Every structure is written in structure tokens, then in C-alpha cells.
């Protein structure tokens, strides 16, 4: 059974007999099914009965149902309330709009709205650049998706993608004070893949006047590559596909710190990437920009090579950039001798024997979610550094270390795009957030709750924007 987690947390209110041992028997029953009591939020004794509020973590949805069945079957226990805390958190949505100025009298109203607002409109019509200082554009980002590649759920559509986009907006505001809003585009009635790409591009182009930046999210490959490329050409504001570049930035930061531990250098590495989608391609590009010369990408059919005739346009371009020796074969065939494995693909693709065939002091980033390409428990003792995309293991490679600070810096600098230099600067800032004396195999990236990370990344990105000459 997987480890209980807050993602499958239940809030209980139960009524027990007010006798010695009643709460203990409840605790034992929950422990026997692997549920973890993480909070007792108060109790109320009412004569012969005791009402108790309990927070219980489970491991998955089936485990929650097992918990309910266990409570129903337990003698003397009455369930007064049983609520999934994750669904409770999402009730009514996770974000809303707040006013930044008060409206308390006619004077306020006449300045914030008509007639005074007309003067501001006229000023912007005369000088459109003023929209970046006199409107929400200065600090607002659109989180754009079509819902075709949501988490590990796949193509679930724009409505079902909305909770994820709300969560992204919540992170933007909480970590970087950036006002972000979901823009979930329905492309289901567009007949061809090209029609769907065109619909996203045209929609974003039309709504762009409101926003200071565009965060593309959960758009399936290869469409995501064309969407980003075309929008970057059309718009004079930063366009950033976080599934590609956010993952790549944090991966580079983690690798930079890992190399300090194993005494290797970028130019000497042999890197194998499992996953040739949006994240895999972006990781390969940023690693090669950082000095890595030998990168082999693999998809479900094996190594991506120039000789394969089954590649889409994005993978053909990927093949041209990588695998200089033309190595072919399955993931397991090409992994022996590799210094680094990076997984952005699927669960349980590797085993302990695969790791034993890697180079000395191998570095393994198994980032598939929720189940990695190989679990840390399996890799223990066989790797020098292990990282995943999960919060319940050390070294979580999480995009939230990157995108809030990248957009904060880009907006503050008045950047018109996001350059490779800005991405590398972000990675270096994330890596530097772990002090040398704290760096070890279980601490190669800072915590997502380390508030200095956003400040460091924002400053580095803003500086790089100025250096690269892309500020307004």
C-alpha cells in the first residue's frame, strides 16, 4: 500500500461511547487498515457519548472507501460527518477577485469609473504602453490550457482542467504576488489537430491586451510546441510553457547541485531522458545549452534517432539535436554507462539491475507523477543522488520553484519575452538557494516553501532580461 498522504485526507466527526478505551479502539482499527491519524481537533463529551473530530490521511480513493466501511462496521461508532478534505478545499473554487482601491463615496466612484476613467482610457489610446502601468496588465498572467494533457490524466477537457488552473493561479499569488487567471479553451469542436492549434493561438492573441504574460499549461505535444512558437512571434509579452521550461529549469538546477556532490562536469556527462514529449525536449535543450554534449532521448518505442521513420515533427527536431552517436534500442538498452537518468514518462520503467549498469555514482531523477519510473526504495544504495516529482520523498523537482519567480522577474523588468538566458539564470538562482554547507544527496534543491527562492529567481530573471535586451 502507498504511503498515506494529505491528498487523500478525510475529516471525520464520530460519536463514541464515553468509556475508557473507546478512542483507543478507534485508533487501532484505523491503524490496522493503514490509515494515519494526523489530527484530533477537539472533542465534546455529552453524558454517555463522546463526539470526536479526527483528521485521517489515506493512500488513495479506494482506501478512503475502506476507511468508511471500517467505521461503519465498528461497534459503538456513529459517523456524524465524513468529508473528503481535498474536495472541501475546492468547493466554490480556490481564487477570487479583490478590489485594490476602496469605493466609499461619489468622489471615489467618479475617479474609478465614469467620468474620470475616460481620461485614463484616452491616455492609453494615445500611448498604449501606459496599459502596463495604469491597468491590471502590469501584474496579470493568463494560465492557458485546452485540457489535453492534464497532470497524468490525459485529455480530460477544459472544464475538468479548471481545478488545476485554479491551483496554478493560487500558487502564482501565494508565492509571487502575481495575479493569474485560468483561461480554459474548448477545442473539442475543431476537427483537425491544426484547427485546434489555430483556435488556441487565435483565442490567446485576441485576449492578450489584458495580460502581462501568458503561461501555457497542460497542452499536449506536439501541439504545445507550435502554440508557444507562434504566440512568441505574435505577442510582445512573455509566453512560457511551464510543462516544458519550468520542469527544465528546475531539472538543470538540481543537476548542477548534484554534480557538485559527485565531482562530475556537464561536458563529460552521458544523459538518458525517458520521455520525448514537452518536458523531455525542453530538458534536453536546456542541458545542452548548459554544456551537456551526449543526450539520448527515449519514447515508448525506444531511443529517438534520425533513422526512425515514425517520428512526428517535434521528435524529428529532437532527433536532430540529440543522440550524436545514433544509439538505438530500448530504454534499458541505452541506459548502461549513463551518468544521469531523467524520467518524465511513466511508472516503474526501471529496476535495480538497470541502475547497477549505469556509470559510477549515477544520478537518477525519476519525475513521473504520481508513480516514478523507479521508486527511491528500489534505488536506495545504488545511486549517488535520487530525486522525484513527489513531495513525500527528498529532492522534489517541482515547477513551483521556477514559474512564480520567472514571471515575477519578467513582469518587474517589463520583459517582452522569455529568453534562454533568463531560464538559465533562473536555474542558477534555484541551485544557489541551497547553501554549500547544506548541500547533500537528500538536499539538492530548496524547499518550495523557502520564500527566498522567488526573490532570488525574480532578481536573476529580471537582470538577465536587461542583459539580453528584451525589456520594454
Residues paired with 295 in a beta bridge:
271
All residues at 6 or more sequence positions from 229 whose CB lies less than 8 Å from its CB, including other chains: none
Residues paired with 294 in a beta bridge:
270
Task: Compute the distance between CA of residue 294 and CA of residue 292 in angstroms, rounded to an integer.
Answer: 6
Task: Compute the distance between CA of residue 171 and CA of residue 177 in angstroms, rounded to an integer.
Answer: 9
Residues paired with 55 in a beta bridge:
11, 39
Q: Active-site residue among 8, 137, 168, 315?
A: 168
Task: Compute the distance between CA of residue 255 and CA of residue 249 in angstroms, rounded to an integer.
Answer: 10
Indicate if 168 belongs to the active site: yes
Task: Compute the distance between CA of residue 15 and CA of residue 78 in angstroms, rounded to an integer.
Answer: 5
Task: Compute the distance between CA of residue 179 and CA of residue 29 in angstroms, rounded to an integer.
Answer: 45
Q: Active-site residue among 8, 46, 94, 113?
A: 113
Output the CA–CA distances (angstroms, integers) from residue 115 to 99, 123, 385, in the order listed.
Answer: 19, 14, 63
How far, in whole angstroms, is CA 204 from its chain's centroid? Answer: 22
Indicate if 8 belongs to the active site: no
Output the CA–CA distances (angstroms, integers) from residue 433 to 121, 424, 460, in the order listed.
Answer: 43, 14, 12
**Which strands form 78-84's sheet, in the order they lie side by side?**
36-46, 49-58, 5-17, 78-84
How far, in whole angstroms, is CA 177 from its chain's centroid? Answer: 17
Residues tagged active-site: 113, 168
Amino acid at each position: 500500500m502507498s504511503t498515506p498522504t494529505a491528498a487523500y485526507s478525510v475529516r471525520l466527526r464520530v460519536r463514541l461511547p464515553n468509556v475508557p478505551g473507546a478512542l483507543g479502539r478507534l485508533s487501532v482499527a484505523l491503524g490496522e487498515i493503514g490509515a494515519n491519524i494526523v489530527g484530533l481537533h477537539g472533542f465534546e463529551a455529552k453524558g454517555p457519548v463522546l463526539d470526536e473530530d479526527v483528521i485521517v490521511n489515506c493512500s488513495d480513493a479506494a482506501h478512503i472507501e475502506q476507511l468508511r466501511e471500517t467505521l461503519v462496521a465498528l461497534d459503538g461508532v456513529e459517523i456524524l460527518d465524513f468529508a473528503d478534505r481535498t474536495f472541501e478545499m475546492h468547493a466554490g473554487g480556490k481564487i477570487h477577485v479583490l478590489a485594490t482601491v476602496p469605493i466609499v463615496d461619489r468622489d471615489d466612484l467618479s475617479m474609478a469609473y465614469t467620468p474620470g476613467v475616460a481620461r485614463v482610457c484616452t491616455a492609453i489610446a494615445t500611448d498604449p504602453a501606459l496599459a502596463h502601468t495604469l491597468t491590471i496588465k502590469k501584474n496579470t498572467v493568463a494560465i492557458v490550457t485546452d485540457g489535453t494533457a492534464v497532470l497524468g490524466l490525459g485529455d480530460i477537457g477544459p472544464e475538468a482542467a479548471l481545478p488545476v488552473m485554479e491551483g496554478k493561479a493560487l500558487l502564482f499569488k501565494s508565492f509571487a504576488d502575481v495575479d493569474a487567471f485560468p483561461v480554459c479553451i474548448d477545442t473539442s469542436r475543431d476537427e483537425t489537430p491544426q484547427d485546434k492549434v489555430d483556435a488556441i493561438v487565435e483565442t490567446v492573441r485576441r485576449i492578450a491586451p489584458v495580460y502581462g504574460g501568458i503561461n501555457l499549461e497542460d497542452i499536449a505535444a506536439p501541439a504545445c510546441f507550435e502554440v508557444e512558437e507562434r504566440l512568441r512571434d505574435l505577442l510582445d509579452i512573455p509566453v512560457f510553457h511551464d510543462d516544458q521550461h519550468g520542469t527544465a529549469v528546475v531539472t538543470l538546477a538540481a543537476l548542477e547541485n548534484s554534480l557538485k556532490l559527485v565531482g562530475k562536469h556537464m561536458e563529460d556527462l552521458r544523459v538518458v531522458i525517458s520521455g520525448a514529449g514537452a518536458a523531455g525536449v525542453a530538458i534536453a535543450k536546456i542541458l545542452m545549452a548548459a554544456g551537456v554534449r551526449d543526450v539520448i532521448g527515449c519514447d515508448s518505442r525506444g531511443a529517438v534517432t534520425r533513422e526512425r521513420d515514425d517520428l512526428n515533427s517535434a521528435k524529428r527536431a529532437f532527433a536532430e539535436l540529440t543522440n550524436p552517436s545514433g544509439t538505438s534500442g530500448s530504454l534499458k538498452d541505452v541506459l548502461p554507462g549513463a551518468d544521469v537518468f531523467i524520467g518524465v514518462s511513466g511508472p516503474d520503467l526501471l529496476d535495480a539491475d538497470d541502475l547497477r549498469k549505469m556509470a559510477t555514482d549515477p544520478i537518477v531523477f525519476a519525475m513521473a507523477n504520481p508513480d516514478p519510473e523507479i521508486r527511491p526504495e528500489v534505488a536506495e544504495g545504488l545511486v549517488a543522488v535520487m530525486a522525484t516529482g513527489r513531495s513525500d520523498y527528498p529532492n522534489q523537482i517541482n515547477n513551483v520553484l521556477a514559474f512564480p519567480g520567472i514571471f515575477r522577474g519578467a513582469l518587474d523588468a517589463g520583459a517582452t519575452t522569455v529568453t534562454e538566458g533568463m531560464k538559465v539564470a533562473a536555474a542558477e538562482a534555484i541551485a544557489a538557494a541551497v547553501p554549500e554547507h547544506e548541500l547533500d544527496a537528500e538536499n539538492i534543491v530548496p524547499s518550495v516553501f523557502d520564500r527566498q527562492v522567488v526573490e532570488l529567481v525574480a532578481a536573476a530573471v529580471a537582470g538577465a532580461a536587461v542583459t539580453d535586451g528584451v525589456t520594454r
